[in-house]
């Protein structure tokens, strides 16, 4: 899963960079790039939110799987469940706010397009969303990697006890 997460983040970086490039062209007066900016920007925003949701559901799902696998082993429950819960609560607020910031930036882009607000508000929101999302992606990747290590440890501990999962 860490490699899948990294691959999806790479795809998203490409999508976001195209949207930002086209947006900067619009910001500098090249309005021919506007339709492309809207299309790439919306797709990048949706894809970014998808990655955050996928990561949150992955952490919840693997936590439930481990919980079921070690329910008959109190010592393993004590050792692993709290760590997995901490991973979930360490990532979920960041992923949620990163998605909210991305949605807000896209919404402000729509407001700029209709002339309701000045362009700098969308530009500022995009900068905030990009910085927060980059930090969140690092946090998610590290947490998914640590989660994978715990899954391997639990699998090995159960195997050593003769339990086949």
pLDDT at 161: 86
Is it the case that residue 12 has pLDDT exceeding 90? yes
Is it the case that residue 110 has pLDDT exceeding 80? yes
pLDDT at 128: 97
Signed CA dihedral, 101, 106, 110, 113: sign only: positive
Q: What is the mean pLDDT of the chain?
A: 93
């Amino acid at each position: 899963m860490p490699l899948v997460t990294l691959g999806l983040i790479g795809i998203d970086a490409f999508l976001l960079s195209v949207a930002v490039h086209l947006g900067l062209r619009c910001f500098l007066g090249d309005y021919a790039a506007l339709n492309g900016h809207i299309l790439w920007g919306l797709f990048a925003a949706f894809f970014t939110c998808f990655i955050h949701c996928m990561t949150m559901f992955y952490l919840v799902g693997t936590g439930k799987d481990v919980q079921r696998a070690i329910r008959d082993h109190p010592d393993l429950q004590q050792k692993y469940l709290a760590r997995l819960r901490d991973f979930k609560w360490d990532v979920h607020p960041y992923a949620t706010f990163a998605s909210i910031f991305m949605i807000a930036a896209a919404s402000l882009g729509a407001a700029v397009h209709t002339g309701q607000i000045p362009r700098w508000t969308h530009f500022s929101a995009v900068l905030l969303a990009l910085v927060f999302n980059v930090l969140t992606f690092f946090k998610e990747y590290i947490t998914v990697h640590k989660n994978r290590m715990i899954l391997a440890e639990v699998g090995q501990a159960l195997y050593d006890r003769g339990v086949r999962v």
